[in-house]
Amino acid sequence: MVLKVEESAVHSLPPPTIPASTPLGYESDCLTISAFVNRPALGILPPENFPDKLIESLLSIAPSGMTRVQTMACGSCSNENAFKTMFIWYRNKERGYAIPSEQEVGTCMINQSPGCPDLSILSFMGAFHGRTLGCLATTHSKVIHKLDIPSFDWPIAPFPKLQYPLEEFVRENAQEEARCLEEAEDLIVKWRQKGKPVAGIVIEPIQAEGGDNHASPDFFIKLRNIARKHGCAFHVDEVQTGGGTTGKFWAHEHWGLDDPADVVSFSKKLLTGGYYHRDELQPDKPYRIFNTWMGDPSKNLFLSELLNVIRRENLLEEVMRSGKTLLQGLYALQVRPSPFLSSHD
Amino acid sequence: MVLKVEESAVHSLPPPTIPASTPLGYESDCLTISAFVNRPALGILPPENFPDKLIESLLSIAPSGMTRVQTMACGSCSNENAFKTMFIWYRNKERGYAIPSEQEVGTCMINQSPGCPDLSILSFMGAFHGRTLGCLATTHSKVIHKLDIPSFDWPIAPFPKLQYPLEEFVRENAQEEARCLEEAEDLIVKWRQKGKPVAGIVIEPIQAEGGDNHASPDFFIKLRNIARKHGCAFHVDEVQTGGGTTGKFWAHEHWGLDDPADVVSFSKKLLTGGYYHRDELQPDKPYRIFNTWMGDPSKNLFLSELLNVIRRENLLEEVMRSGKTLLQGLYALQVRPSPFLSSHD
């Protein structure tokens, strides 16, 4: 077998070689599949064509207002790093973009404030944002995820519990959403008062793991405004909802906002993890958001092809059409129940 | 193009399909590369041959005493889930393997103790264990990793600072290692007293990111015994050191122990992330350790081939041989300095 080293990789190989992730080095003649086996450390040594590949793939479907994308390997890492991006942005605002104090630099190495500040992320009851320790502090869907794992004292707001059919409970549902928004805003004020300011709000456009829970566009629009009013970043977690199953590529597009969020994270159907963010949330220095692999460029190649298929076959329209048919069928069953179905609370 | 769905995948497709990670479903006829694009959710729907592939690859290089392996996508996720495994194990011991109390079940959903207990992981100054929030609480190598990110109040012991050449500082280095061990043990006692018991100790066999810091086998053997004495799990992080660069496949093999650790995590050169653990640390229920992808079976295929190369070409012996040559060259330079080199503190 013959090694095919990408020329671009050789040309840009820096003196300190990529961090411990090239198992045979570039000299082995035993593996033809170097592009996969010698997977680049994307943050240091991206393939020469990687920016173009990002433009073709992830940036071609960027949510409104989002100009930057950071790839990651999975949904949990995406949300963890999205949270870090919000914390860094929030602290930079707090310190007026000055360089960190000696006290901050000294304390951060030993996990103490102010270097490791007591910031928090506001999440919603029933939410699922992943299972690594940072994500898990914002996940509240099932006991099996949470039990026995240390967590952060971060605020948790109620997610609206809507009553159906929606048209019969217009007033009740509006009241329920108003109650949840008020509680969310109260928590932001309370956590600021107790010295753990909310740097960001994280929410799913549809709670999936927590039980297929929906809220109106009006709820999300008002929540986005609460975030803005209190200087918190607004993070929409589309790990479950992104990729077209709602009839739009991103579920938050149903809200109709030009500036729907500060951060949108993704994974699963997108084949690569990662998150988009607004320009303003770009960290002030390189290496503040980093890991060895930062995703996998081979997954981006698959995503480009996947997007071609979705476009060529008008799959979003197809989802809209078949979704309507399914919904009409369910409504019909509701009026004229099938003898094969029974109701279930 | 023709879709090639693996028959095994179709046969075992469960009614609730894999969680939101199959972008076109199994019916699309547009992608030939289904094995990659329709990447399985390994925890639910592994390829039929996956256990055999694990035996060929990861389990064939399992550290002494380790019978189980859990794959993950990257080094940070590996360590995060290794920590979770230790927390679950520790709490199960504490509650005498009884079912969790109602209070535990209730409090865990809102991030509060006892459901989310105040447990800690003891780490070492200079350590690098990753950059997600749990890992980052055990990382203490560079300010750029830590600044502005909230953390846990977990204990941090000093890592030995040895003086070189080793044979000239035998007594001083032994004292230095004894000091660090004493401090580690003191911290375990202190953190238990302040209600944040140490569930696990995490350490690298060689600190890499923190500055190429070494300690003697005796240090690690004694630390492993301190962990055992205090009922803490002992986690050896081989993300940087695993894969053969020390002349043994795992750096901890240089300690010569039959039972070197409770958990050994890996990533980077292994091409897939993950961790081994002893039988005793197997979580009591499925889904306690889980994410959508749990690694990527395609990486295991590459690893099998990589291991074949390492064996066929006796690369571990080669590393030993060339390492000795390099070291002798460095010693020679020390005695007879080159005019092209200057000393540097």
- ipTM, 2 dp: 0.90
Kindly state whether residue B174 falls inside one of the protein's structural domains: yes
The partner residues of B213 in beta bridges, in order of sequence, read: B207
Chain A neighbours among B 275-314 (CB < 8 Å)? Answer: 285, 287-288, 290-293, 296, 298, 302, 305-306, 309, 313
Q: Which of A77, A144, A269 sits opposite B77 (nearest CB)?
A: A77
Two tokens, residue A200: 């960001």
Residue A339 pLDDT level (bands cut at 50, 70, 90): confident
pLDDT surpasses 80 at A345: no
Kindly state whether residue B53 falls inside one of the protein's structural domains: yes
**What pLDDT score was predicted for residue A222?**
98
Kindly state whether residue B40 falls inside one of the protein's structural domains: no
Kindly state whether residue B230 falls inside one of the protein's structural domains: yes
pLDDT surpasses 70 at A6: no
Question: Environment class of residue A268 by beta-carbon count within 10 Å: exposed (0-12), middle (13-18) or buried (19+)?
Answer: buried
Residue A107 among the catalytic residues: no
Kindly state whether residue A91 falls inside one of the protein's structural domains: yes
Tell me the pLDDT of chain A averaged across its residues.
89
User: What distance in Å separates the CA atoms of residue A110 and residue B140, rounded to the nearest whole number?
Assistant: 7
Determine the distance in angstroms separating the CA of A149 from the nearest CA of chain B, rounded to an integer. Answer: 5
Per cent of chain A over pLDDT 90 is: 75
A167 to chain B, any CB pair closer than 8 A? The answer is no
CA contacts within 13 A on the Cβ side of A17: 11
Residue A18 pLDDT level (bands cut at 50, 70, 90): very low
Per-residue exposure over B260-279, b if at least 16 CB sit within 10 Å of its own CB, e if not: bbbbbbbbbbbbbbbbbbbe
Q: Which of A137, A150, A290 sits opposite B117 (nearest CB)?
A: A150
Query: Dihedral of CA B66/B70/B73/B77: which sign?
Result: negative
Kindly state whether residue A30 falls inside one of the protein's structural domains: no
List of chain A residues whose C-beta atoms are within 8 Å of the C-beta of residue B243? 20, 23
Cα B318 versus chain centre, distance:
25
A220 to chain B, any CB pair closer than 8 A? The answer is no
Two tokens, residue B331: 């010693």
Number of domains in chain B: 1
What secondary structure, in 3-state letters, does A151-198 show?
Answer: CCCCCEECCCCCCCCHHHCHHHHHHHHHHHHHHHHHHHHHHHHCCCCE
User: What distance in Å separates the CA atoms of residue B32 and residue A127, rounded to the nearest whole number?
Assistant: 35
What secondary structure, in 3-state letters, does A255-300 show?
Answer: HCCCCCCCEEEECHHHCCEEEEECHHHCCCCCCCCCCCCCCCHHHH
The residue among A262, A211, A212 whose CA lies nearest residue A237 is A262
> Which element (helix H / strand E) includes A106?
helix A102-108
> Which element (helix H / strand E) includes A134?
helix A133-136
B212 to chain A, any CB pair closer than 8 A? The answer is no
Residue B128 among the catalytic residues: yes
Residue A116 pLDDT level (bands cut at 50, 70, 90): very high
List of chain B residues whose C-beta atoms are within 8 Å of the C-beta of residue A132? 76-77, 80-81, 132-134
The residue among B67, B64, B4, B60 whose CA lies nearest residue B300 is B60
The residue among B165, B177, B192 whose CA lies nearest residue B327 is B165
Question: Environment class of residue B135 by beta-carbon count within 10 Å: exposed (0-12), middle (13-18) or buried (19+)?
Answer: buried
User: CA torsion A133→B79→B279→B196, rounded to 10°?
Assistant: -50
User: What distance in Å separates the CA atoms of residue B234 and residue A302, rounded to the nearest whole number?
Assistant: 40
Total beta-carbon pairs less than 8 A apart between chain A and chain B: 256
Q: What does the DSSP assignment read for B138-199?
A: T--S-HHHHTT-------EEPPP---SSGGG-HHHHHHHHHHHHHHHHHHHHHHHHTT--EE
Tell me how far CA of residue A13 lies from CA of A7, A71, B90, in angstroms. Answer: 10, 21, 44
User: What distance in Å separates the CA atoms of residue A65 and residue A43, rounded to the nearest whole number?
Assistant: 24
* Residue A45 near residue A5, CB atoms below 8 Å: no
B73 to chain A, any CB pair closer than 8 A? The answer is yes
User: What distance in Å separates the CA atoms of residue A258 and residue A76, rounded to the nearest whole number?
Assistant: 27
For residue A124, is it left (φ>0), alpha (ψ between -120 and 50) or beta?
beta
**What pLDDT score was predicted for residue B308?**
93
**What pLDDT score was predicted for residue B2?**
30
Residues contacting residue A211 through CB under 8 Å, at least 6 positions apart: A126, A141
User: What distance in Å separates the CA atoms of residue A136 and residue B148, rounded to the nearest whole number?
Assistant: 19
Kindly state whether residue A163 falls inside one of the protein's structural domains: yes
The pLDDT tens digits along chain B (345 residues) read 232 333 333 333 333 344 566 666 555 444 444 555 567 888 888 888 889 989 999 999 999 999 999 999 999 999 999 999 999 999 999 999 999 999 999 999 999 999 999 999 999 999 999 999 999 999 999 999 999 999 999 999 999 999 998 999 999 999 999 999 999 999 999 999 999 999 999 999 999 999 999 999 999 999 999 999 999 999 999 999 999 999 999 999 999 999 999 999 999 999 999 999 999 999 999 999 998 888 888 888 889 988 999 999 999 999 999 999 999 998 888 888 777 777 665
**What pLDDT score was predicted for residue B141?**
97
Question: Domain range holding A199?
Answer: 49-329
Lowest mean pLDDT across A31-35, A275-279, B34-38: A31-35
The residue among A278, A248, A139 whose CA lies nearest residue A203 is A139
User: What distance in Å separates the CA atoms of residue A343 and residue B16, rounded to the nearest whole number?
Assistant: 20
Does B23 sit within 8 Å of A271, measured CB to CB?
Answer: yes
pLDDT surpasses 60 at A305: yes
Residue A237 among the catalytic residues: yes
Mean pLDDT of A225-253: 97
Helix, strand, coil percentages, rounded to 5, for chain B:
40, 10, 50
Q: How far apart are the first and last CA of chain B?
A: 61
Kindly report the CATH number assigned to the domain that includes residue A173: 3.40.640.10
CA contacts within 13 A on the Cβ side of A39: 24
A149 to chain B, any CB pair closer than 8 A? The answer is yes
Q: Which of A19, A115, A131 sits opposite B146 (nearest CB)?
A: A115
Kindly state whether residue B26 falls inside one of the protein's structural domains: no
User: What distance in Å separates the CA atoms of residue B86 and residue B197, rounded to the nearest whole number?
Assistant: 12
User: What distance in Å separates the CA atoms of residue B156 and residue B168, rounded to the nearest whole number?
Assistant: 29
